[in-house]
Amino acid sequence: MASVVLLAGSAAAPAQDAAARADAASMQRKIIAIVTRGELPASKVPMPIQRTSFTEREVNAYFRVNGPEFLPAGVVDPRVTIDRAGQVRARAIVDLDLALKPKERGWLDPLAYLGGKTEVTAVGTLEAASGRGVFRLANATLGGVTIPKAVLQEILAFYTRSEDYPRGFQLDEPFTLPSAIRSVETMPGRATVVQ
């Protein structure tokens, strides 16, 4: 009996992997369509509005299948939950040694004592309209313990810094939506990009 259960379980894994690959491929096609539309030259005649919808299942499959190619070193297993009115929940396992140790810390700084790979979660609202966006943080946790926004900001800034964004992504600060995106609409389990 145990061997039948084991065989059934092992047969389900390839089917789940195939479904995840299909969802990831669907998300990749949608990302390419959004970016391609955003790169079109401006025209005197306005283009019709394009709406591209995707599910959180597609987003999470894309992270799982394609994430190792583009996620920064030290970030693994990200997952996103999309709710109505722009509410978003995100979680990932992050390497705190990479994010927190490069900065000189005094013995009174509680972040000096954190390290290893730990789950980080953030819950907030994405407001995205008129070509601008802002993420308003509601709460965040580190290893299941609620943390102040400043701690999440330090971790987030470390992992999102680039030549174009030397401060990294800043919570609660407006930003220009990429690829000529006008707005993002959300409902439970789904988001729609409007261009």
Extents of the domains making up the chain: 2-194
The answer to whether residues 24 and 66 touch, using CB atoms and an 8 Å cutoff, is yes
Name every residue whose Cβ is closer than 8 Å to that of residue 32 and which is 6 or more positions away in sequence: none
H/E segment holding residue 165: none
Over residues 164-192, the mean pLDDT reads 96
The DSSP call for residue 107 is T
pLDDT of residue 12: 53
H/E segment holding residue 132: strand 132-142
Name every residue whose Cβ is closer than 8 Å to that of residue 75 and which is 6 or more positions away in sequence: 92, 93, 94, 95, 159
Q: Reply yes or no on whether the pLDDT at 23 is more than 60.
A: yes
- Choose the weakest-confidence range: 9-23, 72-86, 117-131: 9-23
Which band of pLDDT confidence, cut at 50, 70 and 90, is reported for residue 160? very high
> Hey, how many other C-beta atoms are within 10 angstroms of the C-beta on 118?
18
Over residues 168-195, the mean pLDDT reads 96
Q: Sign of the CA dihedral 152, 154, 158, 160?
A: positive
Over residues 25-29, the mean pLDDT reads 98
Which residue has better confidence, 79 or 8?
79
Over residues 175-185, the mean pLDDT reads 97
Please, what is the average pLDDT of the chain? 90
Which band of pLDDT confidence, cut at 50, 70 and 90, is reported for residue 5? very low
Name every residue whose Cβ is closer than 8 Å to that of residue 66 and which is 6 or more positions away in sequence: 24, 28
